[in-house]
């Protein structure tokens, strides 16, 4: 069968032969036993819903074995035989070009070069899934190939509920992931209901088909590291010779060494999974791999002495690195952590003193002991960080729930008031006041031609727009403009593409709109193929996350989720091609609500109208909320937006004299 025929086949009428388990692939760890005997039967019954009754007998036994062996029913037998990768739009069957673009994005999320656990349909973060099983993938691709521009595909946590009549201006796909009743949103609830096959963890951009490989976070990490360096720099010194220590080389965290290289520091990034280390080294995202602590110390001392810019992966536990550098009195300038601590009990964080293979077995077979070991490790981790910060290290929480889980483990990470953490979130200190409050966030695009020449042309278009805007930019956002111009100039030489021909840069509403309109005009002239616009959910408006995206909201509303919900509703009727809303993300199930979108530019007047309406709302929704929280930078930004758009009328806060409240 051709590729197109396989897509249109959906779930085969004749079952394909079972697929052998491929040990060389980076697989998800076995999930812990959480279902009762009756619940296991329910999980199998749920899985069999996708198949004709004639196949139930053979599949029931097979799915039972998968559930007992892996803790989930992935339906490995249904993995397609074709190569999983983004293809040019013309290669996809279908009646809707918008739907073809969504198929491209789905396949890119599952590309072996992009996905963390491709056979388990997990893109990044240890549990960030595009689908829960391969039947869902096959059925979704078939629906997309059949749909017209007057239908909408409804996705319930990976399950394609079906095609419904709508209209051309409606989203082609509406995605929800993990939208639980609030009292059922604890970590074990995810384990249980995911094992039952009725919900999934979409992370931020995995379940919304907008992940573009680690490039998506390279830019944000570069901005973060550069600005963290500016906070510690003296007399305008650069970052050469400065040491940045962190951990995690998985889907998103793998961006850290590349970002450190671009920012000009020495990066030491620890990772316990040998396959993740090999992947990032083979892709050129990390320069060197070291497995011995003494050799690591020697290499870092040499790099410091010579003021090198180099990225080093230490294959081992990061706790050992922090402790070794302390005993060797090796000064760390910048420190953070980007392990998947939103998922601490299922492979997001590995305890020190236990081998990787032993830990994988322990989390499945002895989950309570594994939890105990992780919390012991977190206490040691925090203690070692504290020793370095006492020497002057600037440490920031990278929004991965590191401080939150340390606090739950009883580690010494609280400030003197016993309420706040002693270390800031990077959003509190850097991205919130410097970027999000001004409306700058991770705007991204994908060239659906899959042609590197198209990507180069879009880079040039974006650079031209930014340079023109920088000429008249207010002083308040000059630095942001300059950083993005520097970024896009170096995008090609830094070889950031993994998977689809995609790019990201931080832009405000004005920048996003002007760049998108320039793309649309280039498409209309036949200079480039269609372009998919999107963003990370980690943005100005998309996410309500009290320990990350909205951690610099101080009016008491950071635990509310009105902004994210309004964001996705507003995007859906202002022209998004698809929209998504998730429970969970980088900081954990039950800790965040986040929404995203995708928009296909086809060079038409209709696309021009949609992009102007939707992108303006998508950013200014968040700026207005941040302004109402009395954030000075956001008040400036929303006033500027109202000056440019007479139809925008936002309620502004009246500021209160602090002295008025002191004696009450």
Distance CA 453, CA 205 (A): 25
Dihedral sign for Cα atoms in the order 581, 585, 589, 590: negative
Distance CA 288, CA 277 (A): 10
| Among 541, 342, 521, CA closest to 439 | 541
CB 593 within 8 A of CB 583: yes
Query: Given the DSSP bridges, would you call strands 578-583 and 173-177 parallel, antiparallel or unpaired?
Result: parallel
- Residues whose CB is less than 8 angstroms from the CB of residue 453 and which lie 6 or more positions away in sequence, other chains included: none
Distance CA 219, CA 228 (A): 14
Distance CA 156, CA 198 (A): 9
Structure tokens at 175: 């995605």
Place of tokens 């008491």: 556
CB 171 within 8 A of CB 574: no
Distance CA 466, CA 134 (A): 42
Structure tokens at 377: 């490790």
β-partners of residue 377 are: none
Structure tokens at 151: 């239908």
Distance CA 459, CA 457 (A): 5
CB 506 within 8 A of CB 435: yes
Structure tokens at 324: 């070794």
Structure tokens at 325: 């550098």
CA dihedral 546, 182, 347, 407 (to 10 degrees): 50
Structure tokens at 500: 């689809």
| Among 439, 568, 534, 572, CA closest to 169 | 572
Other beta carbons less than 10 A from residue 283's beta carbon: 15
203 among annotated binding-site residues: yes
547 among annotated binding-site residues: no
Place of tokens 């990507």: 455
271 among annotated binding-site residues: yes
CA angle 253, 128, 122 (to 5 degrees): 95
CB 336 within 8 A of CB 313: no
- Residues whose CB is less than 8 angstroms from the CB of residue 628 and which lie 6 or more positions away in sequence, other chains included: 555, 651, 652, 653
126 among annotated binding-site residues: yes
Distance CA 338, CA 336 (A): 7
| Among 539, 468, 463, CA closest to 503 | 463
125 among annotated binding-site residues: yes
- Can you give the length of the chain in residues? 664
What are the backbone angles phi and psi of residue 444, rounded to the nearest 5°? -145, 160
What burial letters (b/e) apply to 620-650, b meaning 16+ CB within 10 Å? bbbbbbbbbbbbebbbbbbebbbeeeeeeeb
Annotation: binding site for NAD(+): 125-126, 203, 271, 398, 586
Annotation: binding site: 125-126, 203, 271, 398, 586
């Amino acid at each position: 069968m051709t590729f197109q025929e396989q897509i249109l086949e959906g779930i085969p009428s004749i079952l394909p032969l079972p697929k052998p388990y491929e040990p060389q692939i980076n697989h998800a760890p076995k999930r812990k036993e959480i279902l009762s005997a009756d619940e296991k039967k329910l999980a199998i019954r749920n899985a069999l819903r996708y198949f004709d009754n004639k196949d139930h007998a053979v599949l029931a036994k097979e799915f039972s074995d998968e559930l007992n062996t892996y803790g989930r029913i992935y339906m490995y037998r249904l993995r397609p035989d074709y190569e999983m990768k983004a293809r040019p739009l013309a290669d996809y069957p279908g009646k809707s070009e918008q739907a073809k673009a969504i198929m491209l994005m789905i396949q890119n999320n599952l590309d072996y070069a992009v996905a963390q656990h491709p056979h388990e349909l997990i893109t990044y973060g240890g549990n960030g899934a595009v689908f829960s099983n391969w039947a869902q993938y096959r059925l979704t691709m078939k629906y997309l190939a059949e749909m017209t521009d007057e239908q909408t595909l409804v996705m319930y946590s990976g399950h394609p509920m079906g095609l419904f009549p709508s209209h051309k201006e409606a989203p082609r796909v509406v995605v929800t992931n993990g939208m639980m009743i609030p009292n059922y949103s604890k970590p074990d609830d995810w384990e249980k209901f995911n094992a039952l096959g009725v919900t999934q963890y979409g992370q931020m951009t995995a379940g919304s088909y907008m992940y573009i490989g680690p490039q998506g976070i390279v830019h944000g990490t570069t901005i973060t590291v550069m600005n963290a360096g500016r906070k510690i720099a003296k007399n305008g010194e650069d970052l050469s010779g400065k040491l940045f220590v962190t951990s995690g080389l998985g889907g998103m965290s793998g961006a850290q060494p590349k970002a450190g290289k671009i920012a000009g520091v020495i990066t030491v990034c620890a990772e316990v999974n040998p396959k993740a280390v090999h992947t990032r080294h083979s892709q050129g995202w990390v320069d060197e791999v070291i497995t011995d602590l003494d050799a690591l110390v020697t290499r870092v001392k040499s790099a410091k002495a010579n003021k090198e810019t180099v990225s080093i992966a230490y294959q081992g536990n990061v706790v050992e690195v922090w402790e070794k550098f302390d005993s060797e009195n090796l000064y760390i300038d910048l420190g953070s952590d980007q392990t998947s601590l939103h998922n601490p009990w299922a492979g997001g964080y590995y305890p020190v003193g236990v081998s990787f293979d032993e830990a994988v077995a322990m989390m499945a077979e002895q989950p309570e002991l594994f939890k105990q070991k992780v919390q012991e490790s977190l206490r040691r981790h925090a203690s070692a960080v504290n020793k370095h910060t006492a020497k002057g290290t600037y440490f920031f929480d990278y929004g991965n729930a590191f401080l939150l889980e340390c606090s739950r483990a009883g580690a010494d990470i609280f400030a003197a008031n016993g309420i706040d953490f002693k270390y800031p979130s990077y959003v509190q200190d850097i991205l919130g006041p410097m970027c999000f409050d001004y409306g700058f966030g991770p705007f991204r695009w994908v060239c659906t031609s899959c042609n590197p020449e198209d990507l180069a042309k879009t880079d040039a278009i974006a650079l031209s727009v930014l340079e023109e805007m920088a000429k008249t930019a207010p002083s308040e956002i000059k630095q942001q403009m300059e950083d993005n111009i520097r970024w896009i100039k170096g995008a090609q030489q830094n070889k950031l593409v993994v998977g689809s021909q995609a790019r990201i840069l931080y832009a405000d509403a004005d920048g996003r709109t002007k760049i998108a309109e320039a793309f649309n005009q280039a498409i209309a002239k036949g200079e480039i193929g269609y372009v998919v616009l999107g963003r990370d959910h980690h943005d100005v408006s998309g996410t309500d996350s009290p320990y990350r995206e909205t951690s610099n909201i101080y009016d008491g509303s950071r635990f509310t989720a009105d902004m994210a919900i309004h964001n996705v509703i507003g995007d859906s009727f202002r022209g998004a091609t698809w929209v998504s809303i998730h429970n969970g993300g980088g900081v954990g199930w039950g800790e965040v609500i986040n929404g995203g979108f995708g928009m296909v530019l086809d060079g038409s007047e209709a696309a021009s109208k949609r992009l102007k309406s939707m992108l303006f709302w998508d950013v200014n929704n968040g700026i207005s909320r941040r302004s109402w929280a009395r954030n000075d930078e956001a008040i400036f930004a929303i006033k500027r937006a109202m000056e440019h758009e007479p139809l925008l009328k936002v309620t502004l806060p009246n500021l209160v004299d602090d002295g008025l409240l002191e004696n009450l």
